[in-house]
Amino acid sequence: MSAFKSLYFTLLPYLCFIPVGYILSKNKIIPKAYINKPLLFLFLPILVIDKVLEANVSNIAILAVISFSLSFLMLGPAVFVHRKLESHLNINILKSSYAYFNVAFFGIPVVTALFGEEGITVLICIYIGSALYGNILGYIQVAKSRFTTREAVREVFKVPFIYAISLAVILKVFQVEPPEILGSITSVLSVVVSVAGMTIIGMSLTTIKFRSVSWKYYARILGVRVLAAILIVSGLLCLEYILIDGLNSEDRQVMALISLFPIAVNLAVFASFLRSWEEEAALLILFSTVMSLVLVPAGAMLLQYLTEQGVL
């Protein structure tokens, strides 16, 4: 039960900003663009550069590839669900909801609560692969819900992540040390981004008629998402163990927990920026976050037990 208490106390301040965002939007106090544009064009690029410079190269080579592969392979279950359940959701929004994992905004407070500061380094490596997928291929998927494929590809070049990751890689290759002040700035930005992300979710909920929402339908969609993610992550970790065996127990535990993480706030940020399927994106994120608040600590306790038994 300590895992549950620690996680809830850590996340509670951030989750409180969902109703704050709802109130701000409902009463038309602050336009959504005032929040999502700084996130896309300033805060996220700075965090990306800092995280790449901090990450261990050997761990990036393994964990980033696994997390990128997880997002890519989740497209299969999304297509399957869209066909079998005759989903009314736009197929590109559904694909992104399956492929996006909230590694940064949800992951940072969760990993800190469950593993301490040591787990942040592992999470950074996972974040790079997840962000590479989400901000390039994933952004194209969301953009295709409104634009043609050619127009969607053009839209990607409006997202600063491409330029931020390119700059970060160049700095990493030349072993450029970030200034000390950057660490202080990004520690504050991590909190700001998490708060802003939760606020955007709340702002996107104002037009949803909750009484008409088919909760059973969304539960089935997200239930399949969780099961598919668990199976894919398990397969990828087994493959890594057989072929490379370069990860330690904590690395594997953090990576395994990613499968239980909610849909990334990026989906709401991008949908809001593109003005496409905003309410559905917010609803999926909200529902998956509620599920993760139960599944993540339960998964953490199971992984801890397996580690004590020498399985991991």
Q: Could you report the per-residue pLDDT of 34-45, keeping only the tens digit for each?
A: 887 888 788 878
Residue type (1 letter), 101: F
183 vs 189: CA distance, rounded Å: 10
Q: Is the pLDDT of residue 206 over 60?
A: yes
Do residues 259 and 67 make contact, with C-beta atoms less than 8 angstroms apart? no
Q: What is the mean pLDDT of residues 159-172?
A: 80
Please state, in angstroms and as integers, the Cα–Cα distance from residue 106 to each residue in 31, 63, 245, 290, 306, following that order.
Answer: 24, 18, 28, 12, 24
Q: What is the mean pLDDT of residues 105-110?
A: 80
Q: Which two tokens stand for residue 124?
A: 């950074």
Q: Could you report the per-residue pLDDT of 255-279, keeping only the tens digit for each?
A: 999 999 999 876 766 666 656 567 7
Show me where the domains of the chain are located: 2-308
Q: What is the mean pLDDT of residues 159-188?
A: 80
C-alpha dihedral over 108, 109, 112, 117, to 10 degrees? 50
- pLDDT for position 293: 85
113 vs 12: CA distance, rounded Å: 12
Angle of helix 278-308 versus helix 2-15 axis, rounded to 10: 160
Q: Is the pLDDT of residue 101 over 80?
A: yes
Do residues 286 and 18 make contact, with C-beta atoms less than 8 angstroms apart? yes
Q: What is the mean pLDDT of residues 197-221?
A: 79
In the block, which residue shows the tokens 């559904």?
A: 94
CA-wise closest residue to 39 among 130, 127, 104: 104
Topology given in CATH for the domain delimited by 2-308: Na+/H+ antiporter like fold (1.20.1530)
253 vs 255: CA distance, rounded Å: 5
Q: What is the mean pLDDT of residues 215-229?
A: 91
Q: What is the mean pLDDT of residues 202-225?
A: 81
